[in-house]
């Protein structure tokens, strides 16, 4: 009987190790040696299953793109039928757990790599488009008379506030995150004018 492939398990271990390294020392200070040591494998295993350092970073970005999509689906399924946008904003701007903070640090590290790696830039574009689309969909339910252009502008404003809030989480600036949440709610009220 043929031995089952270890590829999926090894790739998971390598990407898990990269996440640990990012949280421990940051992306820039993380080498293939660090990843291999953290994954408890030889450096040749990294190259065999994924590739060089940039390939591993891109694979992690792809993983997080999938995680964000799955999280969006959970949030959308959870949203109430009425006041969807308010519930969504409360969820987006909640100050949460250490797990949320770790996800923010990893997300920011990947975002910084988008400047030099096109695959990550594509993932970030997808993440941004998906965010804006889901926010727009919620706003359309709550503000059916608002024009698509205004809804798109408000969704982009909420996204900008969200990115700022995420960048403030590692600094523990909870009051500023709270202010950005209220700013996003205020943006929504501009949709009442039509």
Q: What is the pLDDT along the chain (194 residues), one digit of tens a residue?
A: 555 578 889 999 999 999 999 999 999 999 999 999 999 999 999 999 999 999 999 999 999 999 999 999 999 999 999 999 999 999 999 877 788 889 999 999 999 999 999 999 999 999 999 999 999 999 999 999 999 999 999 999 999 999 999 999 888 899 999 999 999 999 999 998 65
pLDDT digits (tens, 9 = 90+) for 134-173: 999 999 999 999 999 999 999 999 999 999 999 998 888 9
Residue in 160, 168, 167, 166 with CA at minimum distance from that of residue 184:
160
Say yes or no: 105 and 65 in one domain: yes
- Between CA 31 and CA 34 the distance in angstroms is 5
Instruction: Tell whether pTM > 0.85.
Output: yes
Residue in the block written with tokens 């969807």: 84
Looking at the fold, whether 36 and 103 belong to one and the same domain comes out as: no
Give the structural domain span for 18. Answer: 1-51
Neighbours of 80 (CB within 10 A): 9
CA–CA dist 51, 53 (Å, integer)? 7
183 burial (CB, 10 Å; 0-12 / 13-18 / 19+) is: middle
Based on the structure, what is the number of domains in the chain?
A: 2
Domain-embedded: residue 56: no
């Amino acid at each position: 009987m043929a031995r089952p492939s270890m590829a999926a398990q090894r790739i998971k271990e390598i990407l898990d190790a990269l996440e640990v390294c990012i949280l421990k020392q940051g992306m820039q200070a993380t080498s293939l040696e660090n990843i291999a040591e953290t994954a408890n494998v030889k450096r040749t295993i990294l190259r065999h299953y994924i590739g060089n350092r940039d390939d591993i970073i891109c694979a992690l970005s792809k993983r997080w793109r999938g995680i964000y999509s799955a999280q969006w689906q959970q949030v959308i399924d959870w949203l109430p039928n009425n006041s969807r946008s308010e519930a969504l904003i409360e969820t987006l701007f909640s100050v949460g757990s250490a797990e949320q903070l770790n996800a923010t640090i990893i997300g920011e590290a990947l975002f910084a790599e988008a400047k030099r790696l096109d695959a990550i830039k594509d993932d970030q574009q997808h993440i941004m488009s998906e965010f804006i689309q889901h926010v727009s969909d919620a706003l359309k339910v709550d503000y059916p008379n608002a024009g698509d252009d205004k809804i798109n502008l408000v969704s982009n404003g909420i996204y900008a506030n969200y990115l700022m809030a995420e960048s403030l989480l590692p600094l523990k600036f909870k009051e500023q995150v709270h202010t950005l949440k209220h700013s996003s709610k205020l943006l929504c009220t501009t949709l009442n004018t039509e």
